[in-house]
Amino acid sequence: MAMSEWEWAPGTSQEHVDRITRFHMDSLAVPVEQRIRPSDPGRHDFPIGLDENGRKFPVPPTWADRVLGCVLAGAVGDALGASIEFLPIDMIRRQHGEQGVTGFGPAGPDGTITDDTQMTLFTLEGLIRAHVRDRISNAGDPVPVVQHAYQRWLHTQGFDWSQAGGPFAEGRAQPDGWLMTERGLFARRAPGNTCVTALRVFAAGNPAGSMANPVNDSKGCGGVMRAAPVALWSTDAEVVFALGAATAALTHGHPSGYLSAASLAYLVHGLLTGTSLPDCIAALTPVLTRWQGHEEQLARLTTAVRLADEGLVSGERLADELGGGWVGEEALAIAVYAMLVTDSLPEALRISVNHSGDSDSTGSVCGNLAGARYGVAAIPADWLEQLELRPTITSLTRDALAEFGPTPPVDDAWLQRYPGW
Ligand SMILES: [Mg+2]
């Protein structure tokens, strides 16, 4: 069924859908062959095209390349940092040399992802399902649908669905949807205690965490590390910011826990449209400032920008100025610093993981930003080859491109794959 024949349910904003459709059609306009040229190892990581005179020129990635890059590079960054998450910088140097971890290999990380990537995938899946619901029945608040997705993640962490699903498990022995059939997700990878506890509290029958009714006072980085996919939800960057905050507040009640997530979603949203990171940060500042409790995040971001002006600093200095990334505002600041001080995706990821702190989360957040800026072609092929669950991550992201693209599927198989509730 073509989209024009689709009957929009009452309550669905046709105007909203039209805007998203136009936006995505524009960004998908660059021919595929121009998007798969090898990267120029020089000044930038954009694929190289040829003009009519045979001259090379950099082809900025399309929206689709950037979305794929955002999710995949986030997973790569997570995996690069995973084995050094709890190591101080001098120990990292002793084990991996002066440069620290520079890739996957027998002596270093092997491509295994952690809870950061798992939860990012469930954010993305939840948003796809919320969007399916909005198209076929009634537009509504996407936050409960994302909560439902996080309860499914909790189930993958070893809790029976009857204990993990809360209200969503009523009358259902098992959770539904395609992502739950990917058995590789059923693995515990040092899941954040804050997330697990908050989701269990909800499953036990308590109200959902929100900014108005904080579930705790945590500002751990478990909110920001999973927030990047929220950028896809709307063409309106402020809607994205607010949804980033609300979905993080399901598990993190301190403003720095959810405003870091909102800020990341906002920055990714800007990068996906081709805006430079400094311009994205400039646009974010007045938005962030309007929210209560923004001071810590704003201060860390400001420090990250100032530090990047100085250039590359030691891992020790990074920790002194920006912290270890265990909390939301620090994780975002370290990722932003790593982006601003480099001009390629691999370099940004190396800077983002080699410090004394939460290396997998800072790598994950930096990867989200770097992938959105440079596109999927900028990720070294051997890194992608070794990335755990790459087929699952790629399939889910391609499904998101379809769902948020100009002609989202409407067949029964799609509705089984992404039940809209
Ligand atoms: Mg982790």
How far is the centre of ligand 1, averaged over its atoms, from the C-alpha of 193 (Å)? Answer: 11
Read off the pTM. Answer: 0.89
- In this prediction, residue 278 carries a pLDDT of 96
How far is the centre of ligand 1, averaged over its atoms, from the C-alpha of 120 (Å)? Answer: 11
Give the residue-averaged pLDDT of 347-352: 96
How far is the centre of ligand 1, averaged over its atoms, from the C-alpha of 75 (Å)? Answer: 10
How far is the centre of ligand 1, averaged over its atoms, from the C-alpha of 128 (Å)? Answer: 23
Q: If we measure between CA atoms, which residue out of 325, 356, 211 comes closest to residue 337? A: 325
Q: Please state, in angstroms and as integers, the Cα–Cα distance from residue 420 to each residue in 89, 118, 143, 415, following that order.
A: 45, 20, 13, 7
Give the residue-averaged pLDDT of 302-321: 95
Give the residue-averaged pLDDT of 300-306: 97
SS3 per-residue string spanning 196-265: HHHHHHHHCCCCCCCCCCCCCCCCECCCHHHCHHHHHCCCCHHHHHHHHHHHHCCCCCCHHHHHHHHHHH
Give the residue-averaged pLDDT of 298-324: 95
Distance from C-alpha of 231 to C-alpha of 237, rounded to nearest angstrom: 8
How far is the centre of ligand 1, averaged over its atoms, from the C-alpha of 105 (Å)? Answer: 19
- In this prediction, residue 137 carries a pLDDT of 86
What are the tens digits of pLDDT across the range 52-73?
Answer: 888 877 778 999 999 999 999 9
Q: If we measure between CA atoms, which residue out of 120, 108, 128 comes closest to residue 72? A: 120
How far is the centre of ligand 1, averaged over its atoms, from the C-alpha of 121 (Å)? Answer: 13
How far is the centre of ligand 1, averaged over its atoms, from the C-alpha of 331 (Å)? Answer: 12
Distance from C-alpha of 121 to C-alpha of 117, rounded to nearest angstrom: 6
How far is the centre of ligand 1, averaged over its atoms, from the C-alpha of 164 (Å)? Answer: 20
- Indicate if the pLDDT at residue 22 is higher than 60: no
What are the tens digits of pLDDT across the range 374-409?
Answer: 999 999 999 999 999 999 999 999 999 999 998 999
Ordered structural domains, the chain, with CATH: 14-31+46-114+195-411 (1.10.4080.10)
- In this prediction, residue 40 carries a pLDDT of 35
- In this prediction, residue 55 carries a pLDDT of 82
Give the residue-averaged pLDDT of 315-342: 96
How far is the centre of ligand 1, averaged over its atoms, from the C-alpha of 207 (Å)? Answer: 26
How far is the centre of ligand 1, averaged over its atoms, from the C-alpha of 405 (Å)? Answer: 30
The answer to whether the CB of 185 falls within 8 A of the CB of 118 is yes
What are the tens digits of pLDDT across the range 234-291?
Answer: 999 999 999 999 999 999 999 999 999 999 999 999 999 999 999 999 999 999 999 9
How far is the centre of ligand 1, averaged over its atoms, from the C-alpha of 190 (Å)? Answer: 6
How far is the centre of ligand 1, averaged over its atoms, from the C-alpha of 225 (Å)? Answer: 8
At 98, which amino acid appears?
A: E
What are the tens digits of pLDDT across the range 87-118?
Answer: 999 999 999 999 999 999 888 899 999 999 99
What token pair was written down for 340?
A: 């601003």
Start-end of H helices in 311-358: 315-322, 328-340, 345-353
Strand partners for 220: 327
Distance from C-alpha of 339 to C-alpha of 347, rounded to nearest angstrom: 9
How far is the centre of ligand 1, averaged over its atoms, from the C-alpha of 348 (Å)? Answer: 18
How far is the centre of ligand 1, averaged over its atoms, from the C-alpha of 227 (Å)? Answer: 14
- In this prediction, residue 26 carries a pLDDT of 40
- In this prediction, residue 18 carries a pLDDT of 44
How far is the centre of ligand 1, averaged over its atoms, from the C-alpha of 371 (Å)? Answer: 19
How far is the centre of ligand 1, averaged over its atoms, from the C-alpha of 119 (Å)? Answer: 9
- In this prediction, residue 47 carries a pLDDT of 67
How far is the centre of ligand 1, averaged over its atoms, from the C-alpha of 172 (Å)? Answer: 30
- Report CA Rg, the chain: 20
- Indicate if the pLDDT at residue 24 is higher than 50: no
How far is the centre of ligand 1, averaged over its atoms, from the C-alpha of 122 (Å)? Answer: 14
How far is the centre of ligand 1, averaged over its atoms, from the C-alpha of 360 (Å)? Answer: 5
What token pair was written down for 178?
A: 């395609």
Q: Which residues contact 170 (CB under 8 A, 6 or more apart)?
A: none
What are the tens digits of pLDDT across the range 132-153?
Answer: 999 988 778 999 999 999 999 9
Of 12-21, 200-209, 288-297, 366-375, minimum mean pLDDT range: 12-21
- In this prediction, residue 44 carries a pLDDT of 54
- In this prediction, residue 45 carries a pLDDT of 59
Distance from C-alpha of 111 to C-alpha of 291, rounded to nearest angstrom: 37
- Indicate if the pLDDT at residue 76 is higher than 90: yes
Give the residue-averaged pLDDT of 40-51: 59
What token pair was written down for 353?
A: 């993981």
The answer to whether the CB of 63 falls within 8 A of the CB of 35 is no
Name which residue leads in pLDDT, 341 or 4.
341
The rounded mean pLDDT for the chain is: 89
What are the tens digits of pLDDT across the range 170-214?
Answer: 999 999 999 999 999 999 999 999 999 999 999 999 999 999 999
- In this prediction, residue 198 carries a pLDDT of 98
How far is the centre of ligand 1, averaged over its atoms, from the C-alpha of 221 (Å)? Answer: 10
How far is the centre of ligand 1, averaged over its atoms, from the C-alpha of 220 (Å)? Answer: 12
How far is the centre of ligand 1, averaged over its atoms, from the C-alpha of 238 (Å)? Answer: 28
The answer to whether the CB of 70 falls within 8 A of the CB of 45 is no
- In this prediction, residue 53 carries a pLDDT of 84
- In this prediction, residue 6 carries a pLDDT of 28
How far is the centre of ligand 1, averaged over its atoms, from the C-alpha of 57 (Å)? Answer: 38
- In this prediction, residue 352 carries a pLDDT of 97
Distance from C-alpha of 333 to C-alpha of 222, rounded to nearest angstrom: 15
Q: Please state, in angstroms and as integers, the Cα–Cα distance from residue 230 to each residue in 41, 244, 340, 354, 396, following that order.
A: 31, 6, 22, 27, 14
How far is the centre of ligand 1, averaged over its atoms, from the C-alpha of 81 (Å)? Answer: 9
SS3 per-residue string spanning 121-178: HHHHHHHHHHHHHHHHCCCCCCHHHHHHHHHHHHHHCCCCHHHHCHHHHCCCCCCCCH
How far is the centre of ligand 1, averaged over its atoms, from the C-alpha of 212 (Å)? Answer: 27
Of 14-23, 223-232, 405-414, minimum mean pLDDT range: 14-23
Q: How buried is residue 419: exposed, middle or buried, by Cβ count under 10 Å (0-12/13-18/19+)? A: middle
How far is the centre of ligand 1, averaged over its atoms, from the C-alpha of 99 (Å)? Answer: 22
Q: If we measure between CA atoms, which residue out of 17, 125, 21 comes closest to residue 400? A: 125
How far is the centre of ligand 1, averaged over its atoms, from the C-alpha of 79 (Å)? Answer: 9
How far is the centre of ligand 1, averaged over its atoms, from the C-alpha of 261 (Å)? Answer: 15
Distance from C-alpha of 319 to C-alpha of 304, rounded to nearest angstrom: 11
Distance from C-alpha of 106 to C-alpha of 151, rounded to nearest angstrom: 35
How far is the centre of ligand 1, averaged over its atoms, from the C-alpha of 83 (Å)? Answer: 10
How far is the centre of ligand 1, averaged over its atoms, from the C-alpha of 282 (Å)? Answer: 29
